[in-house]
Amino acid sequence: MIGEEGEWMFSLHTEQKVFDIGGVKVGGIPGKDPTVLIGTIFYRKQKLVQDERRGIFDRDQAEKLIRRQEELSDITGNPCMLDVEGSTAQALEKYINFAAENTDVPLMIGGPTPEVREAGLNLVEEGGLADRVVYNSLMPGCGVDEIEKISEAGVTSAVMLAYNVTDLTSSGRINALTGLLEASQGLGIEKPLLDTFVMDVPSLGIAFQALTKVKTDLGLPAGCGPHNAIGLWKGLRKKMGLRSIRSIVASVNAFAASAGADWILYGPLEAAGVVFPSVAMVDVAYAFPRISEGARLSGNHPLFKIA
């Protein structure tokens, strides 16, 4: 990973901002700062969800998955968050309550519409959870009302999605993010997490290219959800077989880490067992060049945890 002039590929000349969200630090320099891994629970068609509209689910199984992610985070040194999704306001409220009671890690909250997400925000405000919540997500064209409701709930962090249907290049993604940052300026979103937007397998390269560009140009924590590419790979199971899926999940998330992602929405919480080791390995591989440059790593860095 050495450039043409012999420089480490992540010689970022823009100051890299690091945000503390619920005790988890996000952002910084690849190799020095571990990648934050975020698994999703209560997603559509998850087996443990028995009624997605009413928010009825297998509580024991949900807790086991949460504990497993936390265990792997402790083993590898990669910090974690929990992405809580809900298809209705009723369901999302139940899911947030459960998650808040069963884990201390930061929570991303998301839903299919602003109205559903707003219900989640109301609960966050009432429950005093704002300092450990990330709103997922803001898209270009979102109204000022939505941004103000996030701020009114006391939430200061939000995912900003580089969704640009008219320009799918990395520059187009940067333009979309810049527009969102400008639209939210002064409205309370102090800790934006920039998502370079993965749609499918062909979009992976552009999204990963945009990761480095975001960090170089803006210096803000950047990441993405590479699992989206797997979900939309229609021929995967038929052409490659079920056994291939685990290796592809590990590969695509390691690929995102190697491209410089500060945080990764790695997909279903069930995938934690293959994602944490693969991303920790990348963080360890990138650590030595940083040490040679004089960087001092935290004692919890994967370099000191997985050997």
Residue 15 resides in a domain: no
Quick one: residue 294, left, alpha or beta (phi over 0 = left, psi -120 to 50 = alpha)? left
Q: Quick one: pLDDT at residue 271?
A: 98
What residues pair up with 158 in beta bridges, in sequence order? 135, 192
Q: Quick one: pLDDT at residue 77?
A: 98
Residue 184 resides in a domain: yes
Residue 119 resides in a domain: yes
The residues, any chain, with a CB within 8 Å of residue 31's CB and separated by 6 or more, are 10, 283, 286, 287, 288, 289, 290, 295
The residues, any chain, with a CB within 8 Å of residue 128's CB and separated by 6 or more, are none
Cα 281 from Cα 258, distance rounded (Å):
10
Q: Quick one: pLDDT at residue 293?
A: 87
Query: Contact at 8 Å (CB) between 133 and 107?
Result: yes
Q: Quick one: pLDDT at residue 9?
A: 55
Residue 58 resides in a domain: yes
Residue 116 resides in a domain: yes
The total number of structural domains that make up the chain: 1
Q: Quick one: pLDDT at residue 7?
A: 45
Low-confidence residues of the chain: pLDDT under 50: 1-8
Q: Quick one: pLDDT at residue 304?
A: 96
Alpha carbon dihedral 242, 243, 249, 250, in 10-degree steps, equals 180
> By residue range, what is the domain housing residue 231?
34-305
Residue 27 C-beta-side C-alpha neighbours within 13 Å: 20
Cα 104 from Cα 232, distance rounded (Å):
32
Query: Contact at 8 Å (CB) between 76 and 264?
Result: no
Residue 51 resides in a domain: yes
Query: Contact at 8 Å (CB) between 36 and 81?
Result: yes
Q: Quick one: pLDDT at residue 2?
A: 37
CATH number at residue 258: 3.20.20.20
The residues, any chain, with a CB within 8 Å of residue 241's CB and separated by 6 or more, are none
Q: Quick one: pLDDT at residue 4?
A: 35
Residue 99 tokens read as 């998650």
Residue 14 resides in a domain: no
The model's pTM = 0.96
Residue 194 resides in a domain: yes
Q: Quick one: pLDDT at residue 299?
A: 92
Burial status of residue 176 (CB atoms within 10 A of its CB: 0-12, 13-18, 19 or more): buried
| Amino acid letter, 134 | V
pLDDT in tens, 190-230: 999 999 999 999 999 999 999 999 999 999 999 999 999 99
Pairing state between β 56-57 and 263-268: unpaired
Q: Quick one: pLDDT at residue 3?
A: 38
